[in-house]
Amino acid sequence: MLRGFAIASGSLGGRYLLGDALTQRFIERKEQIDLRRSGLFSSFGLVMGFPAYLFYAQFPRVLERHFPVRWKLIASMIAVDWAVFLPLVYLPVFYTFREAIYNSHGDGRQLLAAAGAYWARSVASDLSAATPLLVTSDVVMFTALPGMWRVPFLSSIGLIWVVYISLKRGSPD
């Protein structure tokens, strides 16, 4: 399991660093890469490796007992990914990292309150943007890949998502 965490964290950290750097350099055409922004994305990716590995590689084993029919298991994983993991784990963690890096907060409560306010403003549009990619990649991931390779797969296909989130949420407001 430790190896899976390491692979997940490394692949996500690399994906977010690469995706943001490509976005800044080639889409936004910046002369200088904003290192604070790159730090936001790479540190977020490294930290998200842990919950992503638990969810994408381990959680299906929990659901298998409740959904022994494969298509029901896949449908339930997609539903939980879209309705629980993305809006209640992934996006809040990203918004919290973003707030911590770009804004000063007196204490943890203020940071969490600011991240919660950012979540309330942004979650609907980010969920809407993520849905087509999430459903497509989840179908491939849950039907064709062993658990240990699911997060690295997401790291590859997910560069599309990183470009979106980097463009939309990467710069300070």
Interval 136-171: pLDDT, tens:
998 998 889 988 888 888 878 889 999 999 999 999
Task: Output the pLDDT for position 151.
Answer: 81
Between residues 151 and 44, the one the model is more confident about: 44
Distance in angstroms between the alpha carbons of the first and the last residue of the chain:
39
Who's near 73: CB < 8 A, 6+ residues apart? 60, 63, 64, 67, 142
Confidence band of 46 (pLDDT split at 50, 70, 90)? very high
Mean pLDDT (the chain) is 93
Confidence band of 107 (pLDDT split at 50, 70, 90)? very high
Task: Output the pLDDT for position 148.
Answer: 83
Task: Output the pLDDT for position 150.
Answer: 85
pTM, full prediction: 0.90
The span from the CA of 96 to the CA of 92, in Å, is 6
Encode pLDDT of 24-38 as tens digits.
Answer: 999 999 999 999 999
What is the distance, to the nearest Å, from the Cα of residue 53 to the centroid of all Cα atoms in its chain?
11
